[in-house]
């Protein structure tokens, strides 16, 4: 019938692929499926919640307007480093015997290895137990409570553990007036609390941060009447090869320059100043604490817009990934965490890896990290892939985002603005899940980083969130999108 080889494009019907290929056809597979994860009920709910240019009062159009309000708050945010809290309890006075952790809520019984190790280390650091065995028994007993960092205005990398005595960077969103907090980055290679290590070396390092680093940097930031505006640093770092999630080299050096000037003008001891500056100089990731807190203060300002489907938090606890949605209150929508796909250090493989963990995906939520990875093509040497992949991620993420942020531009894409405002509806309509670049932790406590890669948020988070939006549409009349929930 055909003289030439038949070329076949398979559009989302994998069951027909084998027949076409066995018949000698040249098969091209198009990665596509119907909107709503190919689920009729979900597709119907998605259609109900979609905007209509000809019907400004339909619920989808109400969501569209609410989303513009939420994204305006993101774009208009002005995060400023204003202080250092010498102890978390100074700014979070209700902690008591509560440890904050990364990701959505989780108890000791379900925690992964790195988080359990970090909990044991934090209990020892606080002096609540005198040995690792007693610390574990205390964690099991229920006497120590656990809560997500996100529910207390904070974010933490990897295990994300914050205990009452730990110092925190304090960032204020000058536009909205809200605050956000993050712990300092430890500089100890793989042997750090955030990866679940709790040796004496780790505990000594934490106390040095508490007793020396935090007071020194507090003096620096308090010496600047207006604090340190972080948005210009992030914008500049994007033009210097950072994404301010897994690459913070430029941002950390810009910070070092500023801190050095402030400390030089102060009256602190020379040896102390030299050691703190050396810490920042030697740690390319030091700025991550400020980047995360800046993004948290930004996204919290966008939370609470009635009817908005914009994601304001995306976090992982090593077992589950959770998102929070601007118009859906304090609820978490969760799905199973995947293992990042990427590169491993010699001697390690996927069998050693823990599923995705950490609050640092707040950067992607705010339109940075992998959403701005076109600014950091060299990062593929860390997470795997080709430089063209970095550009592709930034381009792809616009499909699921409400807008672009003119404050953060991407030179490799002709200075186009980075995409911002993940829309639950667009994720399910397009089928493209938010991409995250991340370090990969060993599944055992304290073994540290064993690689890095790319991971995507599970679709289940967005499916359950969409049903919640549909339920809200059924139960309540549309509120004015500019009002706070």
Q: Could you tell me the pLDDT band of residue 26, with boundaries at 50, 70 and 90?
A: confident
Q: Could you tell me the pLDDT band of residue 196, with boundaries at 50, 70 and 90?
A: very high
Can you tell me the distance from the alpha carbon of 189 to that of 178, in angstroms, rounded to the nearest whole number? 33
What's the burial of 43, exposed, middle or buried (CB within 10 Å: 0-12/13-18/19+)? middle
- pLDDT tens per residue across span 392-402: 999 999 999 99
Can you tell me the distance from the alpha carbon of 356 to that of 340, in angstroms, rounded to the nearest whole number? 6
Contact 77/215 with Cβ under 8 angstroms?
no
DSSP bridge partners of 428: none
Contact 141/123 with Cβ under 8 angstroms?
no
Furthest-apart CA pair in the chain: how many Å? Answer: 89
Q: What is the pLDDT, as a whole number, of residue 433?
A: 98
Q: Domains of the chain by range and CATH?
A: 7-32 (no CATH), 59-75+302-475 (3.90.1700.10), 79-293 (3.90.1710.10)
Can you tell me the distance from the alpha carbon of 326 to that of 311, in angstroms, rounded to the nearest whole number? 6
How crowded is the C-beta side of 369, counted as CA atoms within 13 Å?
Answer: 28
Is the pLDDT at 478 greater than 60? The verdict is no
Q: What is the pLDDT, as a whole number, of residue 482?
A: 44
Which CA distances in Å does 157 have to 168, 239, 292, 438? Answer: 13, 24, 8, 10
Is the pLDDT at 483 greater than 60? The verdict is no
Q: What is the pLDDT, as a whole number, of residue 42?
A: 87
pTM: 0.92
Can you tell me the distance from the alpha carbon of 385 to that of 425, in angstroms, rounded to the nearest whole number? 29
- pLDDT tens per residue across span 278-305: 999 999 999 999 999 999 999 999 999 9
Contacts of 176 (CB under 8 A, 6+ apart): 73, 77, 297, 300, 301
């Amino acid at each position: 019938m055909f003289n030439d080889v038949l070329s076949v494009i398979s559009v989302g019907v994998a069951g027909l692929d084998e027949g076409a290929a066995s018949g000698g056809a040249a098969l091209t597979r198009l990665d596509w499926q119907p909107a709503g994860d190919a689920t009729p009920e979900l597709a119907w709910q998605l259609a109900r919640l979609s905007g209509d240019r000809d019907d400004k009062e339909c619920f989808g159009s109400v969501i569209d307007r609410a989303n513009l309000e939420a994204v305006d708050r993101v774009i208009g945010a002005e995060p400023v480093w204003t202080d250092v809290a010498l102890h978390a309890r100074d700014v979070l006075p209700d902690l008591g015997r509560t440890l904050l952790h990364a990701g959505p809520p989780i108890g000791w019984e379900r925690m992964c290895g790195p988080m359990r190790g970090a909990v044991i280390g934090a209990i020892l650091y606080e002096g609540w137990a005198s040995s690792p065995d007693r610390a574990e028994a205390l964690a099991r007993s229920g006497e120590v409570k656990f809560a997500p960092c996100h529910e207390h205005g904070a974010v933490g990398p990897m295990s994300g553990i914050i205990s009452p005595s730990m110092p925190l960077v304090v960032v204020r969103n000058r536009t909205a007036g809200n605050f956000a907090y993050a712990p300092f980055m430890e500089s100890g290679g793989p042997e750090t609390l955030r990866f679940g290590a709790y040796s004496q070396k780790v505990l000594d390092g934490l106390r040095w941060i508490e007793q020396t680093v935090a007071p020194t940097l507090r003096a620096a930031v308090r010496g600047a009447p207006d604090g340190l505006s972080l948005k210009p640093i992030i914008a500049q770092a994007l033009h210097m090869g950072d994404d301010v999630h897994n690459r913070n080299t430029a941002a950390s050096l810009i910070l070092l320059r500023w801190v050095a000037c402030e400390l030089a003008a102060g009256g602190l001891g020379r040896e102390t100043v030299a050691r703190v500056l050396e810490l920042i100089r030697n740690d390319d990731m030091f700025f991550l604490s400020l980047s995360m807190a800046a993004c948290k203060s930004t996204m919290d300002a966008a939370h609470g817009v009635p009817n908005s489907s914009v994601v304001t938090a995306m976090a992982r606890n090593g077992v589950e990934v959770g998102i929070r949605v601007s118009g859906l209150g304090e609820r978490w929508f969760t799905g199973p965490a995947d293992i990042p796909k990427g590169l491993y250090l010699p001697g390690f493989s996927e069998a050693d890896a823990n599923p995705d963990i950490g609050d640092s995906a707040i950067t992607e939520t705010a339109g940075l990290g992998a959403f701005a990875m076109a600014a950091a093509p060299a990062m593929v040497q860390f997470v795997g892939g080709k430089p063209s992949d970095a550009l592709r991620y930034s381009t792809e993420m616009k499909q699921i985002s409400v807008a672009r942020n003119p404050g953060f531009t991407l030179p490799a894409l002709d200075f186009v603005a980075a995409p911002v405002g993940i829309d639950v509806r667009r994720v399910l309509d397009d089928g493209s899940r938010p991409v995250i670049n991340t370090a990969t932790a060993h599944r055992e406590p304290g073994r540290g980083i064993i690689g890095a890669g790319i991971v995507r948020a599970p679709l289940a988070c967005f499916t359950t969130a969409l049903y919640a939006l549909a339920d809200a549409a059924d139960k309540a009349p549309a509120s004015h999108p500019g009002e706070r929930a």
